């Protein structure tokens, strides 16, 4: 099975948890895009849901598929959020933000009663840290935050686009990707990063996922926290 096939399998499996009338958090990235497209098919077939997207790209995709979009004024709490991840460690500790959407992802997923992670099995790790940990930073604070992340030994690098321009998030911030190496104590690393003034959010999602649907040649495995 190709990685794309596995992503599709996980995304389709997550649709089984979607019920008529639900409010949904719509994730970002390639796996989530498959989920949103499949959801669009169901909406075309008469399923009634509404969603809040975790990125401008996912919102555009959802709107193109006529999936109704809501907001936190109308819908303060979501029934279910479905999103991918860059790494899935023990206890369903996640690294997210490879696609740059970590801030809205954390906002949306923390407002959901249930958060399902969908991924192919390459995302499972014994310890987080192989994937660079994204940290979203206020633009003017970049030099200070960079220095402080370096002092923590987290090896930050400013994210750029392929054309060399600086990557700017949907919320107009920079992203520092931290080649931290192994992260033995994600809660401590999260607290250390959060204590730096100028950091908006980091890509460690701890104690947030309800369960993960992991697809491989063996099919889909539900991994509980």
**Binder of ligand 5RP out of 31, 58, 146, 169 (CB under 6 A):** 31
Smallest gap from Cβ 175 to ligand 5RP, in A, equals: 10
193 contacts 202 by C-beta, under 8 angstroms: yes
192: part of which helix (H) or strand (E)? Answer: helix 186-194
Out of 9, 78, 101, 125, the residue judged to bind ligand 5RP by CB under 6 A: 101
By the rule CB under 6 A, 29 interacts with ligand 5RP:
yes
Of 88 and 196, CB closest to ligand 5RP: 88
Kindly state whether residue 99 participates in binding ligand 5RP, applying the rule CB under 6 A. yes
Return the range that interacts with ligand 5RP (CB under 6 A); candidates 64-72, 73-81, 93-101, 169-177.
93-101
Q: In whole angstroms, what is the distance from residue 203 CA to residue 95 CA?
A: 5
Write phi, then psi, for 84 (nearest 5 degrees).
Answer: -85, -175
User: For residues 200 and 137, is the Cβ–Cβ distance under 8 A?
Assistant: yes
Is residue 84 part of the contact set for ligand 5RP (CB under 6 A)? yes
Strand runs labelled E in the chain? 23-26, 50-53, 78-83, 87-88, 94-95, 112-120, 133-137, 156-158, 174-178, 199-202, 204-205, 211-216, 219-224
Residues with catalytic function: 105
Q: Are 133 and 159 in contact (CB under 8 A)?
A: no
Rounded least distance, CB 134 to ligand 5RP, Å? 7
Among the residue ranges 30-38, 72-80, 154-162, 178-186, the one whose residues contact ligand 5RP (CB under 6 A):
30-38
Q: Which of 40, 51, 97, 186 binds ligand 5RP (CB under 6 A)?
A: 97
Q: Which is nearer to ligand 5RP, 189 or 205 (CB)?
A: 205
Beta carbons of 163 and 220 less than 8 angstroms apart: no
Given the complex with ligand 5RP, which of 79 and 105 has the nearer CB atom? 105
Residues near ligand 5RP (CB under 6 A): 27-32, 83-86, 96-102, 105
């Amino acid at each position: 099975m190709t990685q794309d096939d596995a992503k599709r399998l996980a995304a389709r499996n997550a649709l089984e948890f979607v019920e008529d009338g639900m409010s949904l958090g719509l994730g970002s990235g390639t796996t989530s895009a498959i989920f949103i497209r499949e959801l669009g098919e169901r909406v075309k077939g008469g399923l009634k849901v509404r969603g809040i997207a975790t990125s401008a790209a996912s919102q555009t995709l959802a709107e193109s598929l006529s999936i109704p979009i809501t907001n936190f004024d109308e819908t303060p709490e979501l029934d279910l959020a479905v999103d991918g991840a860059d790494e899935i460690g023990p206890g369903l500790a996640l690294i997210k933000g490879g696609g740059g959407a970590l801030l809205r992802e954390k906002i949306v997923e923390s407002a959901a009663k249930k958060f399902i992670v969908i991924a192919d099995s390459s995302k499972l790790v014994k310890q987080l840290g192989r994937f660079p940990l994204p940290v979203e930073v206020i633009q003017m604070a970049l030099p200070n935050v960079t220095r402080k992340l370096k002092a923590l030994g987290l090896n930050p690098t400013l994210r750029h686009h392929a054309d060399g321009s600086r990557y700017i998030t949907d919320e107009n911030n920079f992203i520092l990707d931290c080649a931290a190496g192994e992260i033995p104590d994600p809660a401590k690393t999260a607290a250390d990063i959060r204590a730096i003034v100028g950091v908006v959010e980091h890509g460690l999602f701890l104690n947030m996922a309800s369960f993960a649907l992991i697809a491989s040649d063996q099919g889909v495995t539900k991994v509980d926290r």
